[in-house]
Copies of this chain bind each other. A is one copy, B any other.
Amino acid sequence: MSEKTNPTRKRLVDAATKLFYAEGIGRVSVDAVAEKAGLTKRTLYYHFKSKDDLIAAYLDGRDQPNLEQMAGWFDAAEGGADKKVEAIFTNLARVARHPKWKGCGFLRTAAELAAMPGHPAVKAGARHKTNFEKWLAGALSSHDIAQSKMLAREIVLLMDGAFSSMLIHHNPDYVNAAGHAAATLVRARMAGKHAA
């Protein structure tokens, strides 16, 4: 059976996802993950060689669902590319109000593992952020936006700033301000314009 579809392994990753996101990787023991999955720790260590390995699996598993969430918000929004980009932030501000929202799991994990820059989970986070930036550049480009790569990067910076500011202030105004700034940047490059 494939590593990815193994049902026991999936149960463990699902349990890890819930606990690691809710509490942070350092505050969750492997015992707690095993118990949440209804398995023993020894079984966990049969499927993962270490806690670090499990953390990386947790983030790898969030890459596609997160991208689809963002793309879904973008696609569902009415209006031009500026409105579609702003819709991502508007939706983000809405879900971030929920008490279970605890920021961006990729950024939080990178922050916890700042002393271990080569950690596989940090690399998984970097891959996800790169995937998002590439998807966004492609989406902007197919809406006839000039300099879509540079613009995508600026929007990613605003989004990561929004995640961080929301986490520290617990105030969605920051997320909406980022969305407004992002929409302004998009408009500045719509209809073939080019900036300095």
**CB neighbors of B among A32-91 (8 A):** none
Residue from B102, B112, B130, B160 within 8 A of A164 (CB atoms): B160
Chain B residue, CB-CB nearest to A99? B117
Contact A23 B115 (CB under 8 A): yes
A150 interfacial by beta-carbon distance below 8 Å: yes
Q: Tell whether A157 pairs with B158 under 8 Å between CB atoms, given A26-B24, A112-B26, A168-B110.
A: yes
A184 interfacial by beta-carbon distance below 8 Å: yes
Residue from B22, B114, B169, B184 within 8 A of A167 (CB atoms): B114
- Chain A contact residues (Cβ within 8 angstroms of B): what range? 35 or more
Note all chain B residues with C-beta closer than 8 A to A108.
111-112, 114
Contact B195 A177 (CB under 8 A): no
A14 interfacial by beta-carbon distance below 8 Å: no
A187 to B185, CA, bound (A): 13
**CB neighbors of B among A100-146 (8 A):** 102-103, 106-108, 110-115, 117, 122, 125-126, 129-130
- 26 A-B pairs with CB atoms under 8 Å apart are A24-B112, A24-B113, A24-B114, A102-B114, A102-B115, A107-B111, A107-B168, A110-B164, A110-B167, A110-B168, A112-B112, A129-B169, A130-B169, A153-B177, A154-B158, A154-B181, A156-B165, A157-B157, A157-B158, A157-B162, A158-B158, A160-B161, A160-B164, A161-B162, A163-B164, A164-B164
